[in-house]
Every structure is written in structure tokens, then in C-alpha cells.
A and B are shown apart, each in its own frame.
Chain A
Amino acid sequence: MSEQVHNRLAVVRAERKVSRQQLAEAVGAHYQTVGYIERGQYNPSLDLALRIAEYFALPVEALFSLEPFSPLTDEVYGRKRR
């Protein structure tokens, strides 16, 4: 029943230089929960996903998706074709 929810939380968190502990405290979760979300071992509730998105001031679909994310460099610069 549980579908894999893909996320780019680790990438965004590293980019913003936010530790798991800081994010966890900001959204009211345990730091391990953030780690399990990043590893794809736990799918957050809509409530938690929205709180994480709000923390990063991003739309929730920028962080979570039912489809795998393409690399950010591909999205920004486009895939180089030979």
C-alpha cells in the first residue's frame, strides 16, 4: 500500500547548510526521522512534508514527488546532448 515518495531533501539541506538536527527541531520531528526520509525509508505525512517545505520556503513538489527526481544540474542547465 505504501508507495515510495521520492525526495531531494538531502540535496536542499546540504545546499542551505542546515543540519538534520536543525531541520528536525524546526519542524518538530526527531533528527532520525529526517535521516529516514532522506534515505527513503519513511514517507512523511502531508503535514510534515508541508512543514519541511515551509521551512525551506519551497513548494512541496520541489522537495517531494511520486516520480524520481532528475539531477538538479539537468534541470538548471539541461542535459548535454552529443
Chain B
Amino acid sequence: MTTGLTKYDRRMYAVMNRRDGRPLYATAARRRAVVCAHIALTAIGAAAPVTTALTESMWPLFVLFGALLPWCLATGVINGATRGLLELRGRALDERQLRERDRVLARAHRVTTLLLLAAVLGAFAAGGFADVRMGVLLTPVLFGVLVVHALMPLWVAGLTVRDEPDEE
């Protein structure tokens, strides 16, 4: 695993395996709370630029900046909980981690596919029943789907990671 690692790989490996934040993700309940907070912050962050574009008001951007720091913190906690499962290159992971990453990506793909289906049906329903123009929906729906597609593996990884083996 550690053969052929670049300086960057070693640095990232050390960062992802720091144990400083361990109390934040020691139990499944805490990991769930962090992932839920991350999802909420992502929703706020994704809604802000869309709201700005639609209403031409600036205040949502301040909300976005306010949510950015806790979002980064929550991302770091999830990455710490997974030991960089999605951040490290394949050569910095061992066989179990590679298998777990494959499992996480497959599960995230399935969930994203269902959400995409829901988004398409929702957009059609809004266009058909609520008389909303499809052109208006296109940008926010595509943006939302892109964000969810990018972050779903992180959320799945954070929710499925197992408890750390007991201390020796």
C-alpha cells in the first residue's frame, strides 16, 4: 500500500489519518448527525446562488459565505471518519478500503439514479400541473442534481463507515 506513494500522497494520508477529531465521529449517531448537518449546509449553500439568480438580491450570498466554514468543517469530519476513503488516491488505500470505496460508489450511484428520476418526474409534474415553465426549472434542478451527484458518495461513506476497532 505504501509503496509508490508520492510526497503528496503521504501528506494527504497523514492528514486523513489524524485522530484529532475522533470524538466527533466515534459513534454511528454522531456520524449521522454530522452527515445530516452537512446535507443541510449543502442545501443552504446550493440554494443561495440560485435564489440570488432568481431574485437578484445579494443577501443569499452572505448566507452562503456564512455556511461555507461549517460546511468545510463537516466535510473534514466525514473525511476523517472514513480515513480519506474518497479523497486518497487508490495507491494510498489497502484492499479493504478499495473494496469499501467501490461499495460506497456503487450505492451512491444507485441513490443518485433514484434522485435523478425523482427530479425529472418532479420537473415534469411541476411543468404539467403547476404550470411552471420548464426553462425556469432547468437551472436550479440541474444545479441541485450536480451538487447531489458530487456529494452523495461522501454522505454514503459517512453513513456506512463502521466503528473504529477498539483500542489495544
Chain A residues proximal to chain B, CB less than 8 Å:
19-20, 25, 28-30, 32-36, 38-39, 41-42, 44-45, 47-48
Contacts and interface: CB of A to CB of B under 8 A. Distances in A.
A33 to B, nearest CB: 4
Contacts of B95: 29, 33, 44-45, 47-48
Given A34-B165, A36-B165, 20 more contacts: A28-B2, A28-B3, A29-B1, A29-B94, A29-B96, A30-B83, A30-B93, A30-B94, A32-B96, A32-B164, A33-B95, A35-B165, A35-B166, A36-B96, A44-B95, A44-B96, A45-B95, A47-B95, A48-B94, A48-B95
A24 to B, nearest CB: 8
Nearest to B162: A41
Contacts, number: 43
Contact of B96 (A25, A30, A38, A47): A30
Interface of B: 1-3, 83, 93-97, 162, 164-166, 168
In order of increasing CB-CB distance, the 4 nearest A-B pairs are: A35-B165, A28-B1, A29-B94, A33-B96
